[in-house]
Amino acid sequence: MIEFGILSFGAYVPVTRLQRSAIHATNGWFAGGLRGLAKGEKAVANWDEDSVTMAVEAARDALEGIDRTTIERVAIASTTLPFADRQNAGIVKEALNLPDAVGALDVAGSQRAATSALLAALGGNETTLVTAAEITTPKPASEREMTSGDAAAAVLVGTGTPIATFVASHSITMDFVDHFREAGKAHDYDWEARWVRDEGFARIMNPAIAALLEKAGVEGAAIDHFVVPVAVKGVPEMLAKKAGIGEGAVADTLGANLGHAGAAHALVMLAATLEKAKPGERILLASFGQGCDLILLEVTGAIGSVKPRLGVSGWLARRIESSNYAKYLFHRGLLQLDRGMRAEHDSKTALTALWRNRKAVLGLVGGRCTKTGTVQFPKSEVSVNANDHAVGTQEDYPLAEVPAKILTWTADALTYSPDPPSYYGNIDFVGGGRMMTEFTDFAGDALDVGADLRMMFRIKAYDENRGFRRYFWKAAPAF
């Protein structure tokens, strides 16, 4: 049956899991009170990731097997968008190689940015790809540093065969400032947790949840999944109890091995919930931030027919453990290491050239010769085919989703990399096409000729002189 609702979902969790014990081992002398939080691990983005690249990966996870030309609008929700003035959703659109005739929307400014974006999509009639991503920016030795983590999620809303449909929503807006981060500032400033819990979560959310349930004509006990993206221990349980929602319905906040992914966390938890939801179940998604957004969904019989490529569980299983807290600090710009003169190389981007080549650069679109079938990257006027230099015969040939294999590789300790050694080499795409590219997310000993690869959208270089970042595709171990 053709209906409007959530058509698919996906998530992304960076591969590195920083051990909280390693953070405490360094900071414990100063912040001994955080000892109780010094267990488990948090997901931290690589140096070449930001909210846009993570949103792209979550979208790819959600769009597995889905015709991308059906998408009419792309939204990205985050409080850590890389660009203040350059449509971030537009970069996501290019990386996904979507048709130009789509709308775009950046949603920011609050921890409930993702639910607000989702509500807008559910309230409209377009097929909208809602992404949410956060690269968290906690101060070293803060409680936030222990509880936060980086992640992204994506939900496709539109007309088709939904796996979940919209039942009701309720939003409250009040300028309750539990924490804040002024534009351009690196870190959050938090007010006392007890006050936030009692006056914020309890006094704002409890009545709002009750109002939603009444509006929907649903008893609290009928909620099967209560999704509350709040890292403060006990708060989701307290809210559930007040609303009459069973304790067993309270969703795992993923604190043990991911951390709280800021504005993205609502969709990350929703994605984790949809992975295990059953037909007929009700999901109540409740996000908090200067008020709250409450969304009631009902899972349809189509659940299970559409699966993310990995989903939250799959991403959590793809992990590299790290106890290198210094590396994390350096990658976040919180530790000034001597990078050497080679790091002074100017990475100015010619915007004219970027525009001309945007499909190749942002979308990894190569060329295929319509005469010989030769696949190549990048596309060129004259085919690279050694025997037939056909001119002007190439059609677009997207390579981002094509598996590849390592032809040659090295671990270069001389060239500057924020994460030395720099791994790169020549790779061959299955079905044709070759390029030299950087490798990312590799544990060093995993590299070998013939190793299977999957391309990932990453930051290629930072232009620190002008405040610009250059995106491109890198090869990661296949997953």
Partner 1 sequence: MAKGIRDKVAILGMGCAKFGERWDKDEDQLMLEAYEEAMADAGIEASQIDAAWLGAAFDAQNIGPSGIPLAVALRLPDIGVTKVENYCASGTESFRGAVYAVASGACDIALAMGAEKLKDTGYGGLPVRTRGTTHDMIGITGSAPGNFAQLASAYRGVHGVGKDDLKRAMAHVSVKSHANGAKNPKAHLQKAVTMDQVLNAPMIAEPLGLFDCCGVSDGAACAIVTTPEIARALGKTDIVTVKALQLATSNGWEMQASGWNGSYFHTTRVAATKAYDEAGITDPRSQLSLIEVHDCFSVTELVTMEDLHISKEGQGWRDVLDGFFDADGQIPCQIDGGLKCFGHPIGASGLRMIYENYLQLLGRAGERQRQDNPVFALSHNLGGMPNQNVSSIAIIGRADA
State the minimum distance, in angstroms, from the CB of residue 120 to partner 1.
33
* Residue with Cβ nearer partner 1 (67 or 346): 346
* Residue with Cβ nearer partner 1 (160 or 425): 425
State the minimum distance, in angstroms, from the CB of residue 446 to partner 1.
13
- List contacts with partner 1 (CB under 8 A): 340-342, 345-347, 349-350, 353-354, 356-357, 360-361, 374, 376-378, 380, 384-386, 407-416, 421-422, 424-426, 428, 432-438, 448-450, 460-461, 470, 472
Q: How many residues does the chain have?
A: 479
113-123 helix and 265-276 helix, angle to the nearest 10 degrees: 60
Report d(CA 217, CA 377) in Å as an integer.
Answer: 57
Rounded to a whole number of angstroms, the CA Rg of the chain reads 23
State the minimum distance, in angstroms, from the CB of residue 343 to partner 1.
9
* Residue with Cβ nearer partner 1 (2 or 350): 350
State the minimum distance, in angstroms, from the CB of residue 377 to partner 1.
7
State the minimum distance, in angstroms, from the CB of residue 369 to partner 1.
10
Whole-number Cα distances in Å, 228 to 192, 262, 263: 20, 12, 12
Question: Going by DSSP bridges, is the β-strand pair 282-288/103-107 parallel, antiparallel, or unpaired?
Answer: unpaired
DSSP state of 422: E
DSSP state of 26: H
Contacts of 464 (CB under 8 A, 6+ apart): 347
Please provide residue 76's backbone torsions phi and psi, each rounded to the nearest 5 degrees: -130, 130
* Residue with Cβ nearer partner 1 (273 or 437): 437
Question: Going by DSSP bridges, is the β-strand pair 282-288/225-227 parallel, antiparallel, or unpaired?
Answer: parallel
* Residue with Cβ nearer partner 1 (167 or 455): 455
CA atoms within 13 A on the CB side of 457: 32
State the minimum distance, in angstroms, from the CB of residue 414 to partner 1.
4
* Residue with Cβ nearer partner 1 (454 or 470): 470
State the minimum distance, in angstroms, from the CB of residue 355 to partner 1.
11
The answer to whether residues 156 and 9 touch, using CB atoms and an 8 Å cutoff, is yes
Report d(CA 324, CA 410) in Å as an integer.
Answer: 23
* Residue with Cβ nearer partner 1 (8 or 383): 383
In 161-266, the DSSP E strands lie at 164-173, 179-180, 189-190, 225-227
* Residue with Cβ nearer partner 1 (273 or 376): 376
State the minimum distance, in angstroms, from the CB of residue 322 to partner 1.
21
Report the candidate in 46, 34, 36, 70 with the shortest Cα–Cα distance to residue 324.
Answer: 46
Segment (H or E) for 452: strand 452-463
